[in-house]
Chains A and B, each alone.
Chain A
Amino acid sequence: MDLKLDSEELNTCVHCGLCLPHCPTFRITGEEALSPRGRIRLMQEIQTNDQMVTKEALASFETCIQCRGCEPACPSGVPYGSLIEQTRKTLVQENRILPRWQRIPYHVLTRPRLLRFLSRLLTIANKVHLIPKRFAIPKNIPFFNKPLIPSGTDVYLFTGCVMDAWQRETHQAGKRVLEHLGFGVTPTGDRVPCCGALHTHAGLGTKAQEIAENVINSLSDNERPILVDSAGCGAALKDYGHLLGTEEALAFSSRIFDIHEWVEKHIETFAVSSKLSLRVAIQDPCHLRHVQRSHRAVRNVLEPFVDEVIELNDDGLCCGAGGAFSIFQPDLASKARDQKIAVINEKQCDVVASANPGCSMHLQQGGIDIRHPMDIIDEAISLKTIPSDL
């Protein structure tokens, strides 16, 4: 079957296997079929030798979390993310994965009012224990959200879909931090309801392209930088150039900054006045570390505000959240989480910082006290200012 993969991209893999230990599903199972090399070999066999896609091959592709931890580990520079996204896209088009009923939730993401309405229903249903535990719906979805009020026109704050409905407090915190640095912030709000990251990962590539075009159109009336406090969204927005392949999209992508990158750039202007007595372990979201590769900014930004920033000893191995992965593959997701929790427990920390809503919800389910770095900084700067001569 033709998976419609770029044959040059596909052929960059020399099967050396150096990616294997960086793959969360290989780490859990030790199985070749659940490793990047195995998946690529299957893609090659299916496409180049025109083999059929067996159910085992489907399982191999469906169990990929798409954390892309294999990419920085690959000395040959195999564009694995692009390969698996295209593979899934073709398989969805051929109706081999993601049955139609499973596509319904993805339609909700682009309809903010409906999303908020359903979120409220979900909160109630969850309170009365109507939702099975394996769906891992967080307990603390707010019923009402305070609106995000624009404070100026220096930068956009990208608010997104689920994060805006479930974790708007973090947007508020990020906005206050930016304001503290002297930036007037315009939240993108409902006019840009979703970035399409989850659609791309699911294999709904065509829908993702549609969303991307909409996002670009809505935010192209000026050249303001667009700041993103969700690692997954940031990675997707930065990838629009590749997704759409147009000059316009490329120019748009160059306006995207992870909020930590932006704050880091202006950290000089930050009058650090107070520190929280916290030891913070950093959990790098995969799409910040392996895709955007701007995870160092999180440390530089957090460091002045806390007692200690602690590194986890797992080279940024994925926690298993993976957007909707934890819902579709609960078993692998919870095993990946167990690995992460074991690594966190090795360290003496008060709280874990994660710059992605998916990771934090997933790890919270595992009993980890986790906060967004912006929440921590916001708390620090809201403390009474200590006179500088002390």
Chain B
Amino acid sequence: MSFIDKIKNLIKPSVFEDVFVAELVAALSPERVRFDATERFLHSHDSSVFDEGNAGPICFPITTREVQTIMRISEKHGRSIVARGAGTGLAGGAIPLGAPVVVVMTKMNKILEIDIDNRVAWVEPGVINLDLSRYLQPFGFHFAPDPSSQQVCTIGGNVANNSGGPHCLAYGVTDAHVLALEIVLPDGEVATIGGLDPEPVGFDLRGAFIGSEGTLGIATKIAVRITKNPPTVRTLLLSFSSMRAAAETVSAVIAAGIVPAAMEVMDQRITIAVESFVGAGYPTDAAAVLLVEVEGLVDGVQIDASNIREIGFKHGATDVRVAETDNERELLWKGRKTAFGAIAQIAPDYYLHDTVVPRSALADVLEKVNEVAERYDLIVMNVFHAGDGNLHPLLLFDAREEGMLEKVHAAGAEIMRISLDAGGVLSGEHGIGIEKQAYMDELFTTEDLNHQNRLRYAFDPQCRSNPGKILPAGHSCADIQSLKNVPQGVWG
């Protein structure tokens, strides 16, 4: 310990905190820097079930330069930072660990430039996903990644988590729709990675950044690919008397060479909950429903739809309904996209899983998931992106019950192992965050993880950007210094 550090240790920690906050205030403005207990409490949480968050000062920057300044001041004080969008993450990616500066990007929400000819839009990270698509509507375009939370989640958050969504089956996830990024590195340097050219030269740093969950820096401008709206869309709703039949239909459709825009399955419990909220005419007596969307030119869509119908019946569909109007179609999708929220009609808390298994293993894995839930005496619901084998089992519980949270986590861990055993991966689209860090060891070798850490180190040598996430403790530089502890204050 140096002499200066020794002196520092004699002074009350709050003094340093005050100086730190004062510098942030001077750089932004008093109303855009908060350090009160209430704001820190609010920003210690997101949509996930993790409650170990502890936010430091909260900043609401409005320009790249301000983000840069926040980074520099934080570096000077040896403090870490966590970027936050709408706070809808389910893996705890935006939960601040070790009292970092929480950089809330929601005020940077301008659509900067639309270039229809080149199919590019430059946006700030705080733009809400659905707002962009709505803005593009009159031009006949949209932004393809459509997570279920698209009406609220931000593009910046989509980039951080490499978000998917129902329609990513045909279009690909966020990575396929981001061309270039302006980022602020943890040391405050501003860099542009990727490019608008069709064949950018050099390493694909853009690809490394997307899905890095804020551990490599903060994106401040994003060039997204915009997608032409399809001329025809048809949505089919297939009902099944067993989950297995639904899962097999999904595999059969893909095996037949059809790539629908989306294929979504919901089990009976979730269908009942959803139907009571939207009233879209979902069959509440079916064991499983499969929502399939095909799009393209009229004739092709017609052929695909009738083929899917046939495959469905062959695999035991009890009913196939085609949405007649846009309104009907929209209602069906609204039901699917609000499914997670709708479960509160049944229990006050849920733990939503996100794993990916090979499509052919869907039916078996689902059965095992149900077994686990039964063994732990938990209600499980299944709603998932069947087309890419992306499972979302929901465990329902009431956190007020003693020991419940531990039980839910234990069941969750088993579900994760089942998926891995079936040849799957840890996360489809929600990210690793805090949630799945401990399981990284089971998917990757030590060598793999060390390489990932080296990549991280290249961007963020001090591990100050969203510390304590993704890489498990042993492989991350995070635990060295960034997880400093600052008392949470009166609301502790």
The residues of B that contact A20 with a CB separation of less than 8 Å are 86, 152
Measured in the bound complex, the distance between the Cα atoms of B43 and A8 in whole Å is 24
Q: Is the CB of A60 within 8 A of B38?
A: yes
Q: Is the CB of B38 within 8 A of A76?
A: no
A152: Cβ under 8 A from any B Cβ = no
Partner of A75, one of B45, B126, B134, B338: B338
Q: Is the CB of A33 within 8 A of B39?
A: yes
Measured in the bound complex, the distance between the Cα atoms of B36 and A60 in whole Å is 13
Contact with B along A73-90 (1 / 0, CB 8 A): 011111000000000000
Asked, given contacts A32-B87, A45-B491, whether A16 binds B340 with beta carbons under 8 Å apart, the answer is: yes
Measured in the bound complex, the distance between the Cα atoms of B160 and A41 in whole Å is 25
B271: Cβ under 8 A from any A Cβ = no
The residues of A that contact B398 with a CB separation of less than 8 Å are 11
Q: Is the CB of B149 within 8 A of A16?
A: yes
Asked, given contacts A32-B43, A41-B45, A52-B490, whether A16 binds B38 with beta carbons under 8 Å apart, the answer is: no
* Residues of chain A from 8 to 40 with CB closer than 8 A to chain B in the complex: 11-18, 20-21, 29-33, 38
Question: Which chain B residue shows the least CB distance to A57?
Answer: B38
Most buried by A among B109, B131, B151: B151
The residues of B that contact A14 with a CB separation of less than 8 Å are 340-341, 343-344, 348-350
The residues of A that contact B43 with a CB separation of less than 8 Å are 32
Q: Is the CB of B45 within 8 A of A56?
A: no
Q: A112: shortest Cβ distance to chain B, in Å?
A: 41
Q: Is the CB of B342 within 8 A of A75?
A: yes
A217: Cβ under 8 A from any B Cβ = no
Q: Is the CB of B341 within 8 A of A75?
A: yes
The residues of B that contact A76 with a CB separation of less than 8 Å are 341-345
Question: Which chain A residue shows the least CB distance to B40?
Answer: A56
Measured in the bound complex, the distance between the Cα atoms of B119 and A390 in whole Å is 51
Q: B393: shortest Cβ distance to chain A, in Å?
A: 16
Contact with A along B105-135 (1 / 0, CB 8 A): 0110100000000000000001010110010
Most buried by A among B42, B109, B128, B131: B42
Q: A284: shortest Cβ distance to chain B, in Å?
A: 18
The residues of A that contact B37 with a CB separation of less than 8 Å are 54, 56
Asked, given contacts A13-B344, A33-B42, A76-B344, whether A18 binds B128 with beta carbons under 8 Å apart, the answer is: no
Measured in the bound complex, the distance between the Cα atoms of B39 and A76 in whole Å is 25
How many residues of B are counted as interface, with CB atoms below 8 angstroms from the partner's CB atoms?
44
Contact with A along B326-362 (1 / 0, CB 8 A): 0000000000001111111100111000000000000
* Residues of chain B from 276 to 307 with CB closer than 8 A to chain A in the complex: 277
Q: Is the CB of A21 within 8 A of B152?
A: yes
Q: A332: shortest Cβ distance to chain B, in Å?
A: 13
The residues of B that contact A77 with a CB separation of less than 8 Å are 277, 344-345
B47: Cβ under 8 A from any A Cβ = yes
Q: Is the CB of B41 within 8 A of A16?
A: no
B60: Cβ under 8 A from any A Cβ = yes
Most buried by A among B128, B152, B345, B349: B152
Q: Is the CB of B342 within 8 A of A31?
A: no
Partner of A31, one of B60, B350, B400: B60
A93: Cβ under 8 A from any B Cβ = no
B104: Cβ under 8 A from any A Cβ = yes
Measured in the bound complex, the distance between the Cα atoms of B45 and A31 in whole Å is 13
Measured in the bound complex, the distance between the Cα atoms of B105 and A32 in whole Å is 12
In the complex, the 7 A-B pairs of residues with the closest C-beta atoms, listed nearest first: A30-B106, A76-B344, A75-B341, A56-B38, A75-B338, A75-B342, A11-B348
> Could you list some 19 contacts between A and B, CB below 8 A?
A14-B350, A17-B47, A17-B88, A18-B341, A20-B152, A21-B151, A30-B107, A32-B87, A38-B42, A41-B41, A42-B41, A56-B36, A57-B38, A75-B274, A75-B277, A75-B339, A75-B344, A76-B342, A77-B344
